[in-house]
Amino acid sequence: MTNKQAAIKIIKRLGRNGFQALLAGGCVRDMLLGRRAHDFDVATDAAPADVIKIFKRTLKVGAKFGVVIVLLEDKQVEVATFRTEAGYIDGRHPGRVKFAGAAEDAGRRDFTINGMFYDPLRRQVIDYVDGQADLKKQIVRTIGKPEERFGEDYLRMLRAVRFSTQLGFAIEPGTWSAIRSNAKNITRISGERIAVELEGILVDPNRSAGAVMLIKSGLAEAIFSGFADREAKFAIKVLYELRTKVDFALALAGLFSGCPEEFTREKCQILKLSRSQNKHIKFLMTNRGKLLDDRMSLAELKMILAEPYFRDLYELQRAIEKARPDGRGGIAALGRLRKRIKALGDVELRPKPLLNGHDLIRLGAVPGPGLGQLAEEMYIAQLEGKLQTPQQARQWAKKWLQKHRIIEK
């Protein structure tokens, strides 16, 4: 059973119980565009209590706001009661919800293209907001007055940029000018929610157009204060050059590719990224430029090649060099690096050390920082190809210990 089939099953069942139920929002938009929808949401005049009664397995997390998740086999479908949202107090959360009819429910949604319903049984689009006309015109337009709608929930500004980026639609001029005049208020939205929309914009293949909108609207500057014009212009080019499929960390490193590492770290904190995302970005930012260095030793090359994010580092550097007006030298350096990598063949990048800590202690090394240093230098010599056998390593280690006079008598 697909998500769509699960949603339709739920709609039929609600219908048999005397309720109106429709597909709603993003999935209707995507169906009309012939795009694949990820989730099929159901909207209904059944109250959450009715939905919970009708279906055996439900999750009631959002029942207060009219949303129940219905579980069918391994699928989860959001079933939301038609509602209006009123009394936004803080530009983020509606103060209360009121259950209502389909037309009112359409009116609370963000953009006309997201405000349509579809009746799968009668095969009918139900469109109270002229969404179909805007789909044809390929524009993102708020339902109702943009100033008011953004004032209710400032996140919608970023959502407008996301839909415009993902669908390749223009933002309607009135909607755009309201985004520009309200951009500063995006700081009232939590970093996590900003990050979700920003990720949608920056991982999309059309990300550089998205970045242009983020910058021109003032949203980028509002989210990342101090993100200056020159860096922004460079970022747009780098994002344009990056390969089609990237993850959020690589895209962010692209966005900040003209900025110092410390600035990037500070700005990314706002987004409350995961530890592994932060690590990923940090690796890309600290190692920028390294791959262009022809003097990189064999050991350094092997170590950086063994890094899980090496491919992303290479891709970022390639995009940076392509974006630079004088990047030809950099591109040539990357070509030389590729040759070096190819010449390595399938050599093991992270072989087991020829000697372990116990072996070194047996040779007379004293446990402590000295031992760590010995092990590290010996491993580098091994990666350089200077040491091939444990025998060679033992001799090398003995010499090292004599030289550093930390051999135990």
The residues of the shown chain that bind Mg ion, judged by CB under 5 A, are: 26, 39
Nearer to ligand ATP, 44 or 114 (CB): 114
Can you tell me the distance from the alpha carbon of 74 to that of 304, in angstroms, rounded to the nearest whole number?
42
**Minimum CB distance to Mg ion, residue 26 (Å):** 4
Q: Which stretch binds ligand ATP (CB under 6 A): 133-141, 151-159, 280-288, 389-397?
A: 151-159
In Å, how far from its chain's centre is CA 403? 51
Which whole-number Å values give the CA distances from 339 to 68, 87, 284, 334, 336, in the listed order? Answer: 57, 63, 22, 9, 5
Least distance from Mg ion to the Cβ atom of residue 38, Å: 6
Binders of ligand ATP among 154-193, rule CB under 6 A? 155-156
114 binds, among Mg ion, ligand ATP, none (CB under 5 to 8 A by kind): ligand ATP
The 29-48 contact track toward ligand ATP, x by CB under 6 A, reads: ---------x--x-------
Report the largest interatomic distance among the alpha carbons of the chain, rounded to a whole angstrom: 92
Distance CA 125, CA 28 (A): 8
Residue 254 near which of ligand ATP, Mg ion, none (CB within 5-8 Å, type-dependent) = none
Is residue 106 a contact partner of residue 138, using CB atoms and an 8 Å limit?
A: no
Which C-beta is closer to ligand ATP: that of 107 or that of 364?
107
| Smallest separation (angstroms) from ligand ATP to the CB of 110 | 4
Q: Which does 127 bind (CB under 5 to 8 A by kind): Mg ion, ligand ATP, none?
A: none
Q: Which stretch binds ligand ATP (CB under 6 A): 106-114, 218-226, 346-354, 366-374?
A: 106-114
Q: Is 315 left (phi over 0), alpha (psi -120 to 50) or beta?
A: alpha
Could you say which of 134, 153, 231, 241 contacts ligand ATP (CB under 6 A)? 153
To ligand ATP, the closest distance from the beta carbon of 240 in angstroms equals 23
Distance CA 300, CA 278 (A): 23
Task: Compute the least distance from the CB of residue 39 to ligand ATP, in Å.
Answer: 6
Centroid of chain to Cα 158: 14
- Alpha-carbon distance values, 291 to 144, 263, 286, 338, 340 (Å): 52, 22, 11, 10, 11
110 binds ligand ATP (CB under 6 A): yes
Alpha-carbon gap, residue 357 to 293, rounded angstroms: 33
Stretch that binds ligand ATP, among 131-139, 149-157, 180-188, 303-311 (CB under 6 A): 149-157
Name the one residue in this structure whose structure tokens are 């309201």. 178
Q: Please choose, out of 152-160, 301-309, 328-336, 347-355, the segment that lies near ligand ATP by the rule CB under 6 A.
A: 152-160
Tokens of 281: 């970005």
Residue 41 sits at φ, ψ, to 5 deg, of -95, 145
Q: Which stretch binds ligand ATP (CB under 6 A): 6-14, 153-161, 350-358, 372-380?
A: 153-161
Give 178's DSSP letter: H
66 binds, options Mg ion, ligand ATP, none, Cβ within 5 to 8 A by partner type: none
Nearest to 143 by CA among 170, 171, 106, 179: 106
Given Mg ion, ligand ATP, none, residue 321, with its beta carbon under 5 to 8 Å by kind, binds none
Question: Which is nearer to ligand ATP, 155 or 253 (by Cβ)?
Answer: 155
β partners of residue 69? 59, 78
The three-state secondary structure class of 317 is: helix
Task: Give the shortest CB-39-to-Mg ion separation in angstroms.
Answer: 5
Q: What type of residue is 52?
A: I
Residues found near ligand ATP in the complex (CB under 6 A): 25-26, 38, 41, 109-110, 114-115, 153, 155-156
